[in-house]
Structure 1
Amino acid sequence: MNVSFDDLYLFSQTIVHGGISAAAEANQLQRSKVSRRLQELERALGCQLLIRTTRTIELTEHGKRLFELVGQPIEHIQQGLNVMDDYQQELTGKVRLAIPSALMSSAAFNSIINEYTTRYPDMSVEIENHQESVDLKRQAFDLQLLPSVAKVSDDSYVQFSLLPYRSHFVASKGYLDTHPPLESIDDLEHHRLLTNRYNADLLDPKYHVTVKSDDLNLLRLMAIAGNGIAFIPQVHSKPALEDGQLVEVLPEYSHSQQHLTLIYPSNLFLPNKVKALIELFREKFQ
């Protein structure tokens, strides 16, 4: 790792003066040069230090750690830089994932986490339930999984498509025998619909959604109990269809294909521990 101490000085000046332009003016340098040197420093360290916006800058967790170092004696700085380098290279420490609740109980996701923690026993994994896009950099998440219909908060994030799927309408035979017949999509107006927040946006607003829940298991169980027609991904209804607990409704109606999106901040500064987890997702979900 070849880090310039001049670049470390400019980094500290940027923080002290509250921005790249102010640091450039204080040191009689062009703004573009200071910005370029900061980028070189990030490349040398292999991690992002600053979150740049039009008006301000914010320190990432790595940036905060480095700023604490730069006031130390040189030998302490070098030791700290070595620790930061080890953090990027080694398969130890912690990874944080943000995922929708429906995915938490899926067999594929469980197998990925089991395999990851078995391969890398020194790693710890934190998983939080988030249905909408999170600010990965500010909230210190390494990865997020979301359905493709969800809007990602930052267009600069890497978005990798995984696991294509389709949703369909399913209901119990008991429900269908005691409710108005379904001959066309318009007949759904006379029925109770059960779906999640993502699929609800795919339906015509004229249809009445009786239950909208992020828990796909709940929606499937309600459909089995005869409480309505569920509009859910096929993978979640397949076992109940095979057992005869549910039947497909309006099978001729074609729904657009969706997919899961794996989201992460940047290819440039990914630690090896995150790369390893991304590869597992690609192996299992593709």
Structure 2
Amino acid sequence: MRADDLILFSSVVELGSFSLVAEKNNLTNSVVSKRIARLEKELGAQLLYRTTRKLTLTEAGKALLQGAKNVKQATQEALDAVAGYGENLSGHIRMSVPTISGELLLAEAVAEFCQMHPGLTVDMSLDNRFVDPIGEGYDLVIRTGLLEDSSLIARHIIDSQWVVCATSSYIARAGIPYQPEDLVNHNCLQYVYQTTGASDWEFKGPDGNYLLKVSGSFSSDNAVALRKAALSGYGIAYLPRCLVYPDLQDGSLIDLFPRQVGKRLGVYAIYPFTRQPPNKIRLLIEHIRDSYLKIDYYFY
């Protein structure tokens, strides 16, 4: 059984006419008829009742139709996935990314993409707030946490695990928290942009994740500032693992609750809803995703 015959059968049912399918595919009516007949012979079942006025599906045709549609859709998606790779991309892309991602890898990844496509320019804004892509004129937005907006499409890139960390000098001075509840007695550095609230830290429990309310003398809307405060020994920080990965590796910071922190956010590429995004957007998303996956060990 040939996949192109299944696709042709799906088209015949969709258009309801051999002649329309023949015209659309630059074939003759007789070729379309012969290929449907070939499919029926291979299956050993009649698929269509043909009259001069209309085509009607048989029971076998009804049973085959969904599978044929799936083949047609999968074929189109495969073609769409590679469409544009051989083209010269041009134009302009305006995008917004979080500060952490921009400084960690996106600036380099996007600049590399521009070098790969000399006719393309990208304006990348680093902003931790969730911008309105449509209202503010952004073609692409990279953000953590999935949004509920039917006018936008979100493509998952990677998951980002959070950690609770501090320096050995802070622990030596203030004592080690043996369990998350001990954090209420510590100076907790708080990130203002948390969706659950700066003082609500999420942990895993026997009955699922729960929030623990903490307090501290310093908070900021900039995660890099909190990292620096933690590295200086001023308190315990709750931060994305990717931001402090090198610090954890060289021992500058200590992961206080490995596998106990419940916060794990998806990183998404978000763009306005279209049936098929422009090649330049789709290919940039794939390039960004590949860049993240190359250092996935930073994230979880």
Range into which the TM-score falls when normalised by the shorter chain: 0.5 to 0.7
Would you say the 8 A contact 1:162–1:259 is kept in 2? yes
Q: CA deviation at 1:212?
A: 3.3
TM-score, structure 2 length as denominator? 0.59
> Letter of the aligned partner of 2:213 in structure 1?
K
* Deviation string, structure 1 residues 78-132 (Cα, Å, up to 9, x no partner): xxxxxxxxxxx9622210111122222113x133212211111121111123323
Structural mapping, 1:270-285, within 5 Å: 270-285=277-292
Would you say the 8 A contact 1:200–1:212 is kept in 2? no
* Deviation string, structure 1 residues 151-196 (Cα, Å, up to 9, x no partner): 45x3331111112121111101111111143122111111122242
> Letter of the aligned partner of 2:178 in structure 1?
E
Name the residue aligned to 1:185. Answer: 180
> Letter of the aligned partner of 2:194 in structure 1?
Y
Name the residue aligned to 2:118. Answer: 121
> Letter of the aligned partner of 2:89 in structure 1?
L
What secondary structure does 1:114 align onto? helix
Q: CA deviation at 1:254?
A: 3.5
* Deviation string, structure 1 residues 46-78 (Cα, Å, up to 9, x no partner): xxxxxxxxxxxxxxxxxxxxxxxxxxxxxxxxx
Structural mapping, 1:7-18, within 5 Å: none
What secondary structure does 1:226 align onto? coil
Provide the rounded CA distance (Å) in 1 between the counterparts of 2:248 and 2:257: 14
Name the residue aligned to 1:241. Answer: 248
Q: CA deviation at 1:252?
A: 5.2
What secondary structure does 2:174 align onto? coil
Provide the rounded CA distance (Å) in 1 between the counterparts of 2:263 and 2:222: 21
Provide the rounded CA distance (Å) in 1 between the counterparts of 2:215 and 2:272: 38
Instruction: Pick one of 157, 161, 166 that aligns with 1:166.
Output: 161
Would you say the 8 A contact 1:132–1:146 is kept in 2? no
Provide the rounded CA distance (Å) in 2 between the counterparts of 1:175 and 1:140: 45
Structural mapping, 1:98-137, within 5 Å: 98-107=96-105, 109-137=106-134
User: Is structure 2 residue 221 aligned with structure 1 residue 223?
Assistant: no
* Deviation string, structure 1 residues 196-248 (Cα, Å, up to 9, x no partner): 21276352463114433343222211111001101111122121122221111
Change (3 A) 1:278 1:174: same
> Letter of the aligned partner of 1:188 in structure 2?
L
Aligned residues: 195
- Paired-residue identity, %: 24
Larger Rg: 2
RMSD, aligned CA: 2.3
Change (3 A) 1:199 1:184: farther
Provide the rounded CA distance (Å) in 1 between the counterparts of 2:101 and 2:221: 10
Runs of 4+ residues deviating >3 angstroms? 199-202, 209-212
Stretches of structure 2 that go unaligned for 5 or more consecutive residues are 1-86, 202-210, 294-300
